[in-house]
Amino acid sequence: MLKKFFASLVTTSLLLVGFATPAQANVAEPAFDMVNVSSVRDAGHIGEGASIAFIDQGVNLTHEYFQDQVIDGFCLYASYTSNFCPNGSKSQTGVVAASQRIVNNFPVFAENHGNMVAGIAAGKPNSVAAGGIAPGAKIVMANIDLTLEGITEAARYISQRAEANNTVAMSLSFGGLFSEMPRSWLLCDTNPALSELASIIGDMRDRGIITFAAAGNTPVLDIATSVFPSCLEDVVAIGSVNAQREISWYVTMSNKIEFLAPDFARSADTLGYLTGSGTSAATPLVAAAFTVLKQAFPNKTSEQILLAMKQGSSKVDDVIRKQIPLLNISGAYQLLASSAGGSTPSEPENSEQKVTIGTFNGYIAIYTKGYEGRRLTAKVAGKWLKVDPITLAPGKTYSLTKRNTGAGYNINVEVYIDGALVAEDNVLTR
């Protein structure tokens, strides 16, 4: 399907301040102060060694904010459009493919959205702008025309190259507008048109690569879920707050939103700088915070880091939803630093934990004890199943997850809790 989407943020509040001399200057950034990143930065944690991937409009590769920051790119334009990749074709990969679209040897000014999101996450600090939340991280940028085909192929490329690029997060700051998107597309997890993309994102999450997506800028309160793609099960949906720490009036609010973040960070424009807005601006900020914490705590699983980000957050009330996590990077850092070994911040000490793999009546049965509230993923005969959160079986002290494979087969089973392998076996079903 080649249904076209529109970016969550179509226009921004422009603040063109000219070029700056690259320097590690201490430039104030109120949005970053709100999420308490300074103490973590001062400890040397800036996302070094990791990369953040984006699916957007590309970046101006000559902009000082992105010098030496972009390590890979992907470009794809639908055949029926008049747009072309930098090499003059409809598809391209590599660093040059990450470029903002160029016409007559000059970047298209209106297509500045990719600059904004990438800069908030991983821009290089200078004497004019503070840089990104994770200025030590690198950028992987997919530059596409936002068809479903393009989004899916870009995600596939990012997934396939994730290990080579050490990509730990993917940030998506676009969404379908209701005037352009059938209501059925809100049923993300049951719509067959979205199954391929959902599978790619789910596989990435199982590997510890978290996808963050803007919840949307359509101000309704009774929506069942966020707009595509933030409505997908394995995507972390992001809303935004203003400078007064109030939820921005335009946010598409739903129970799917897991984090709030500021919408007003200064970032790169096509040539100079601008002040961002929209859930588009909040999303890369959270993705970059996750990246910084992932770099700071390499022995923690991605799910443990997400949990610490929630538990260490400030809380904001909406009209309907209450106590929504507002990102607090220092709070998450302190929780992760204080928790021992690989345990999650909420895990009680000396708790009895056990995973057992069994079989009966043609089913593979996975029993877990002591992991309630955690995330289980299991690979059974090459196929994945997920339980999030783990809950006890009725009247029991354990949880039960099962899959029908039929009797008389040797089945390989791998069980992961919060992305960490905890049990593996090859069993003969009976």
Alpha carbon 199 to chain centroid distance? 15
Give the mean pLDDT of 141-147. Answer: 93
Highest mean pLDDT among 25-39, 88-102, 331-345: 88-102
Per the structure block, which two tokens stand in for 145? Answer: 């025309």
pLDDT above 70 as % of the chain: 87
Q: What angle do CA 15, 65, 94 make, to 5 degrees?
A: 125
Partners of 51 in beta bridges: 138, 167
pLDDT at 4 over 60: no
pLDDT at 175 over 90: no
pLDDT at 274 over 90: yes
User: Are 6-338 and 354-428 in the same CATH fold?
Assistant: no
Domain 6-338 class?
Answer: alpha beta
Greater model confidence, 232 or 349 = 232
Q: For position 220, what pLDDT does the model report? A: 63
Q: For position 137, what pLDDT does the model report? A: 98
Q: For position 391, what pLDDT does the model report? A: 87
CA dihedral over 109, 113, 119, 122, signed as positive or negative: negative
- Model pLDDT for residues 189-239, shown as the tens digit of each residue: 677 888 999 999 999 999 999 999 999 887 765 455 578 899 898 999 999
pLDDT averaged over the chain? Answer: 86
Q: For position 27, what pLDDT does the model report? A: 85
Closest alpha carbon to 313 in 331, 286, 299, 293 = 331
Provide the pairing of β-strand 314-316 with 324-326: antiparallel
- Model pLDDT for residues 393-416, shown as the tens digit of each residue: 887 788 999 888 888 888 889 898
Closest alpha carbon to 154 in 41, 43, 73 = 73
Greater model confidence, 382 or 161 = 161
Instruction: Using pLDDT thresholds of 50, 70 and 90, give the confidence band for residue 381.
Output: confident
pLDDT at 7 over 50: no
* Annotated domain spans of the chain: 6-338, 354-428
Q: For position 187, what pLDDT does the model report? A: 65
Instruction: Using pLDDT thresholds of 50, 70 and 90, give the confidence band for residue 23.
Output: very low
Q: For position 319, what pLDDT does the model report? A: 82
Lowest pLDDT segment from 111-125, 207-221, 256-270: 207-221
Q: For position 54, what pLDDT does the model report? A: 98
Greater model confidence, 175 or 136 = 136
pLDDT at 9 over 50: no
Lowest pLDDT segment from 59-73, 307-321, 383-397: 383-397
Instruction: Using pLDDT thresholds of 50, 70 and 90, give the confidence band for residue 22.
Output: very low
Annotation: CATH topology of 354-428:
Immunoglobulin-like (2.60.40)
